[in-house]
Amino acid sequence: MEKMIEWSKGVEKNENLDEMVLQAIKKIECEGYGIGEGRTATVCALEGRFDVCVKILNKSIRPKNGATEEMRFLDKLKSKKFPVPQAVCCAKTERSEYVFMEMIDGLSILDLIEDDLFEELPENFDFKGFFEKLREIVKRMHSENIYHRDLRPGNVMVDKIGNPVIIDFGESKELSLSTEEPYIDENSLGEARIISPDENRIIELCKELGSYLKNKNYFTR
């Protein structure tokens, strides 16, 4: 198993981390447990740890990027001070691929709306400022030739002080040539798949969260 672990550039490896990762994978593969489940992956909390979580990739419906590729995105963006989780390591077994990373202290826009967690928003949450920051983060990400391509409500979080954090780089793309199209993929048959641009996704997020907050009388306070 140890040979299957690749450590993040931003983390100093030690025996305690080794043991944590090995035991977590063993427990997950024996029992299974999660805090968030999507079409291509499940996110699990680690027993006894509140600072680390693990993303388990679905091998039957695999995202564009495997565990190694996703950790590479996190490492690159974190090194440039982007608000993304700190990667710890990635691992591969016969059953699945795993990305261990920082557990963000906050809540996703999806959880906020679906679980009606309005009272858990930071005090004096600035709706307009939040989306201004999110647009600037994505604009700066694009200047690094990285496109998220999956800015759904579950992939944008509000941290404990009300700032945006972007998670889940399973569908992200880094352009190596200026002629590449960031939002078009081709399958093995040469068929094109067109993806909604990040900017459009932010507009949709703004409308969705705005509608929820309006119903909570947020804008009349």
Does pLDDT of 2 surpass 50? no
Task: For residues 150 and 170, give the distance between their C-alpha atoms in angstroms, rounded to a whole number.
Answer: 8
Residue 90's pLDDT band, with cuts at 50, 70 and 90, is: very high
Mean per-residue pLDDT, 25-30: 81
Q: Residues 192-196: contacts with CB within 8 Å, 24+ apart?
A: 195/149, 195/171
CATH class entry, domain 2-102? alpha beta
Residue 168's pLDDT band, with cuts at 50, 70 and 90, is: very high
Task: Give the residue, 38 or 138, on which the prediction is more confident.
Answer: 138
Strand pairing report for 173-174 and 5-7? unpaired
Does pLDDT of 87 surpass 50? yes
Is the CATH number of domain 106-220 1.10.510.10?
yes
Q: What is the mean pLDDT of the chain?
A: 89
The answer for 87, left when phi > 0, alpha when psi is -120 to 50, beta otherwise, is: beta
Q: Residues 188-197: contacts with CB within 8 Å, 24+ apart?
A: 195/149, 195/171
Mean per-residue pLDDT, 37-46: 77
Evaluate whether 100 touches 106 at the Cβ level (below 8 Å).
no
Residue 37's pLDDT band, with cuts at 50, 70 and 90, is: low
Supply the pLDDT for residue 12: 79
Phi and psi torsions of 160, nearest 5° = -65, -15
The model carries a pTM of 0.91
Which pLDDT tens digit goes with each residue over 119-136? 999 989 999 999 999 999
Task: For residues 180 and 34, give the distance between their C-alpha atoms in angstroms, rounded to a whole number.
Answer: 37
Domain map of the chain by residue range? 2-102, 106-220
Judge if 2-102 and 106-220 fold alike in CATH terms: no
- Give me the percent of the chain exceeding a pLDDT of 70: 93
